[in-house]
Amino acid sequence: MATAVNRDYFWALAAIGVAAIAALTLGLIAFAHQSDTEAKAREETVIGNGLNARIREIETQVLPQAIWDDAVRNLDNRFSQQWASDNVGNFLHSVSGFGFALVIDTDDRVQYAMRDGADVALAEAAAERAAAETVIARVRAGELEERGGVGLENPVQSSAIHWVKALRRHRHSRSG
């Protein structure tokens, strides 16, 4: 009789163990499926954000190329103060956060100046022009080297960070 009772307990415990193992296995499968679903959603979000960021980056890279012909027409061929204000001053201030911008001609004379988002009289841009002197000289030397003395195939650009440092040094030396 004692062995019959023990056998009944054994099968009851065995059934509970099998049910627990089955529940654990089903729980692990459900957890793995849920984890995969959430990981997939996170990865899709990351990829989507990356693609959107790249699209915005390309849009900002394409804009300067799209307006290059207009820039030549309105800054070089026939200077337009309004075009310079809209497409150099306002654009660089509002889109890129520039504190100032200059347009200079082939003789390095200031044709347009913007400071803190507002157009400035050319005479008032003397500090920025003086601060940019070394940058302009470096750009001109790079252009001459690049073109070998003929035509301007690839214009040379210079860092705005250098301009800001140069302007700060110039302003401090004038006030001191």
Per-residue pLDDT tens over the stretch 108-163: 889 999 999 999 999 888 888 888 888 888 888 887 777 666 545 445 444 444 44
Residues 48 and 113 in one domain: no
Q: Are residues 35 and 116 in the same domain?
A: no
Choose one of 16, 39, 66: the last residue of a domain: 66
Q: For residue 155, which of 106, 86, 85 has the smallest C-alpha distance?
A: 106
- The stretches of the chain forming alpha helices (DSSP H) are 2-66, 68-71, 81-84, 91-96, 126-131, 133-147, 160-175
Alpha helices for 67-159 (secondary structure H): 68-71, 81-84, 91-96, 126-131, 133-147
Answer yes or no: do 85 and 171 share one domain.
yes
Asked if residue 47 and residue 83 are part of one domain, the reply reads: no
Last-in-domain residue among 15, 44, 66: 66
Q: Is 164's pLDDT higher than 60?
A: no
Q: Please indicate, yes or no, whether residues 60 and 84 belong to a single structural domain of this protein.
A: no
- Confidence check: pLDDT of 175 > 60: no
The answer to whether residues 102 and 163 belong to one domain is yes
| Residue-range definition of the domain harbouring residue 17 | 1-66
Whether residue 84 is found in the same domain as residue 164: yes
pLDDT for res 5: 62
Tell me, yes or no, whether 71 lies in a domain: no
Shared domain for 137 and 93, answered yes or no, is yes
Is 74 inside any structural domain? no
Q: What is the pLDDT of residues 7-64, one digit of tens each?
A: 778 888 889 999 999 999 999 999 999 999 999 999 999 998 988 887 777 666 655 6
Q: Are residues 156 and 96 in the same domain?
A: yes
Q: Report if residue 151 sits inside a domain.
A: yes
Residue 142 has a pLDDT of: 81
Is it the case that residue 107 has pLDDT exceeding 70? yes
In a domain, 24, yes or no: yes
- pLDDT at residue 139, rounded to an integer: 82
Give pTM, 2 decimals.
0.49
Are 59 and 85 in a shared domain? no
Using the structure block, give the residue that is written with the tokens 């990981």. Answer: 39
| d(C-alpha 104, C-alpha 113), whole Å | 9
Task: Domain count for the chain, please give it.
Answer: 2
Residue 150 lies in a domain: yes
Pick from 66, 88, 123: which residue ends a domain? Answer: 66
